Amino acid sequence: MGWTLKRPFRITLYFAARAVSGTMTCGDDVSETAIDIQGRPIKLSNLQKVLYPAAGFTKKDVIDYYVRIGPAILPHISGRALTRKRYPDGVDGEPFFEKNAPQHKPDWVKTAPIWSDASHRTVHYILANDMATLVWLANLAALELHPSLALAKDINCPTDMVFDLDPGPPANIVQCCQVALWLREIFEKFGLESFPKTSGSKGLQLYIPLNTPTTFHDTKLFSHALAQLLEQDHPKDVVSDMKKVLRTGKVFVDWSQNDEHKTTVAVYSLRARENPTVSNPVTWDEVERTLKKKDPNLLVFRSKQTIARFEKMGDLFEPVLTLKQKLPKLGAAALAGGERPAPVEIAAHADGNRPPRISRATKAVKRTAARKKRSKV
């Protein structure tokens, strides 16, 4: 039985709640619906198509989620080159990444031209600056949204440094919580605040807001050195090398996300898992409680939970947008010749008494942290 104007599409209720002027016209068939958001017409299609079969979660539900969470997610993706991961046949189908804006985009969808060294051409990235664009993307089954760490207007200056904690089975997000707390302790020695969020998949991600002039070279150098330092201190639990064969039972501290050519899934983005889980911001108390109880399910959030948390707690990631912090200087030795830190080299004498050798950048991190600690005493 189709819906008529007497039984309107639920999305219109939340346009009003979110102070978005939206109207809708529809016929008896809910699969084809035209809506208008702030004077921008959007034709929604195949609304009853199931995109998450295990949960019975339809395209209509996807759109409804992004409308509800729009006030939370839009500030975090607005003005940033956006890579979309689309699932036209649902999460069980074949997805594809999309960087360039499709030719059929509406004229009102804004884009940012950014040169790509890899493809030797200019890529016109979508800028999801408003609710209309967000709904249009959801209708294209762009389930996952992956923004750049830099604003499009200053593409070489990341606003954040990111660590992606990826557990190698049988490790899970509980072990990621322990690693996150170790990282937080290191950050605090530098006087840096950090903010955790779930990946919405298996792991945990830490954001260190900067919002000050820096470069991807600097954030990658610093994050790599910290990952090496953590691996040296906890070799049974942490690995900083990307080789998957080394990750079994350990947490890979992925520092390589700090790169102008890479993206990290947006906070509040859906993930293409069996159920509609979300990359959700969490408190440090929740991280500590999960570690104490050793229950990975405490940090699994589906779409409805995410909306309820946002309505109750607000945007836990809001400080990431405005908090200004500066990376410590690693020193001339680490930066000489533009050198990037080498992987930790562990070597020992036959008697096993020789201490491990670490990169100059990692040594610089230790020296700087020690100076910071002494200055606070």
| Same-domain pairing of 136 and 246 | no
Give the chain's count of helices (H) and strands (E).
10, 15
Residues 37 and 42: their CA atoms lie apart, in Å, by 8
Residue 194 lies in a domain: yes
Residues 107 and 111: their CA atoms lie apart, in Å, by 10
> Strand ranges (DSSP E) for the chain?
22-26, 32-37, 40-45, 50-52, 57-58, 82-86, 96-98, 111-116, 121-126, 142-147, 160-167, 195-198, 204-209, 238-239, 251-254
| Same-domain pairing of 219 and 287 | yes
Please say if the pLDDT value at position 217 is more than 60: yes
| Same-domain pairing of 232 and 142 | no
| Same-domain pairing of 182 and 307 | yes
Q: How many CB atoms lie within 10 A of CB 105?
A: 17
Please say if the pLDDT value at position 12 is more than 50: no
Structural domain span for residue 87: 11-147
pLDDT, residue 332, reads: 37
Residue 278 lies in a domain: yes
pLDDT, residue 282, reads: 98
pLDDT class of 246 with cuts at 50, 70, 90? confident
The average pLDDT across 203-227 equals 96
pLDDT, residue 172, reads: 97
Summarize pLDDT for 54-86 with one digit per residue, the tens.
999 999 999 999 999 999 999 999 999 999 999
CATH of the domain at 290: 3.30.70.3300
Say how many domains are in the chain.
Answer: 2
Residue 60 lies in a domain: yes
The average pLDDT across 164-177 equals 96
pLDDT class of 7 with cuts at 50, 70, 90? very low
Please say if the pLDDT value at position 22 is more than 60: no
Mean pLDDT of the chain: 84
The position carrying tokens 């992606």 is 164
What is the dihedral angle through the alpha carbons of 279, 144, 74, 154, rounded to the nearest 10 degrees? Answer: 100
H runs (alpha helix) in 266-326: 284-293, 303-313, 319-322
pLDDT, residue 369, reads: 54
The two tokens of residue 226 are 């910290």
Q: Could you give the percent of the chain with pLDDT greater than 90?
A: 73
Q: Which amino acid is at 103?
A: Q
| Same-domain pairing of 18 and 66 | yes
pLDDT class of 102 with cuts at 50, 70, 90? very high
Residues 314 and 187: their CA atoms lie apart, in Å, by 25
pLDDT, residue 33, reads: 80
